Amino acid sequence: MIAPHGGPLVDRILTGEERVNWEERARLLLAIELDPFHLSELDNIACGLYSPLTGFMDEESYNSVIESMRLPNGTVWAIPIVLPVGEPQSLHAGTPVALTGKNGVVYGVMDVSDVFTRDRKREAQAVYGTSDEAHPGVARMCAEPTTLAAGEIHLLKRVPVSAAGEYHLDPHETRRVFEKRGWKTIVAFQTRNPIHRAHEYLQKCALEMVDGLFINPLVGETKEGDIPASVRMECYHAVIDNYFPRDRVMLATFPAPMRYAGPREAIFHAICRKNYGCTHIIIGRDHAGVGKYYGTYEAQEIFDKFTTDEIGIVSLKFEHAFYCKKCGQMATSKTCPHGSEDHVFLSGTKVRTLLQEGKDLPPTFTRPEVASILQRAASIS
């Protein structure tokens, strides 16, 4: 089994007497209220999904990641994982704090090690490649406080997931399943859209090379207009049940929020899937992109900045897939000799547009089972 990123798999979830003691103590601590986005980050750190992180980043780590896409010890890490705080006056290093939700429930505790100020413009340009607040990731960051609190965390209570809770598996659980199935090589597929024919083509090409396919849809926070996670999960089931060998496919959700950070998020997604136990990840056209902020294959090219040993998971880079009318099947520019007039290009954006316009989804675009689910959901909404 592939090793977790940067060392042992992190586990910051308290149990037994230790948790009971901290729950009692937490009632007397200064409380910091976390929104759903940062509650999700808290849980993802605690369960090891963000290994080797053991807490929210301090200023040294924050600057190192922004400047070099590495932690201070040299480990590759592409996205700042930080905790904005609204009222920092009473926060200082050496102070333990309770981390709560809007309902007042204490989900965790943090030993504050640093309090510092983020540079929004610098962070936006480095992470998102733009400071344009029309970018959803930049807009979210600019709406947050500029003061950040750092420190190692402990989780007292699991944070509820928004959808498909039975498919929420921690890294130690996915690794156990992979071992039980005898999979030594596993390819991950990241998506925030329903699976269409182009996705299926890439997945099956990759599945020819490895033991198992790990379909790992993101169910964390996404931008307005994205298809709801519950609908997407129904689509994944329809495709897996009808078009894949079930003993070679596993479906589990990815609880991280979507940042739309393009190339840097592609690295981040790869590292998280490595922590799940995957040896490969599919990186297609405009991975984690939005609008026209990133080059078509920029998310693939960023992997060339690091050695395979540094990231530890192999990126499978695919061309833009399409349906070719003359070939009568899915293809890419590497496998099809025909002109663009014979190509039907597929994308999640186009699916949403057709649904909004009340139009049918053609079978060259998506499987009929998926089309039926999406059209039914669109008519209800």
Residues forming the active site: 192-193
* Pairing label, strands 106-117, 212-217: unpaired
Supply the DSSP symbol for 297. T
The answer to whether the beta carbons of residues 94 and 112 sit under 8 Å apart is yes
* Pairing label, strands 30-33, 322-324: unpaired
> Within its chain, how far is the Cα of 103 from the centroid?
25
DSSP string, 306-318: S-HHHH-SEEEE-
Task: Say which residues have a Cβ less than 8 Å from residue 257's Cβ, sequence separation at least 6.
Answer: 37, 40, 41, 220, 221, 222
The answer to whether the beta carbons of residues 352 and 225 sit under 8 Å apart is yes
The answer to whether the beta carbons of residues 316 and 183 sit under 8 Å apart is no
**DSSP 3-state assignment of 323?**
strand
Rg of the chain on CA atoms, in Å: 21
Phi first, then psi, for residue 13 (nearest 5°) are -95, 115
Helix (H) or strand (E) holding 331, with range, is strand 329-331
Six-digit token pair at 3? 């090793």
Task: Say which residues have a Cβ less than 8 Å from residue 280's Cβ, sequence separation at least 6.
Answer: 185, 186, 187, 188, 206, 209, 210, 313, 314, 315, 316
The answer to whether the beta carbons of residues 229 and 217 sit under 8 Å apart is yes
Residues 270, 276: Cα–Cα separation, whole Å:
10
Instruction: Locate the DSSP E strands across 141-284.
Output: 147-155, 186-191, 212-217, 249-251, 280-283
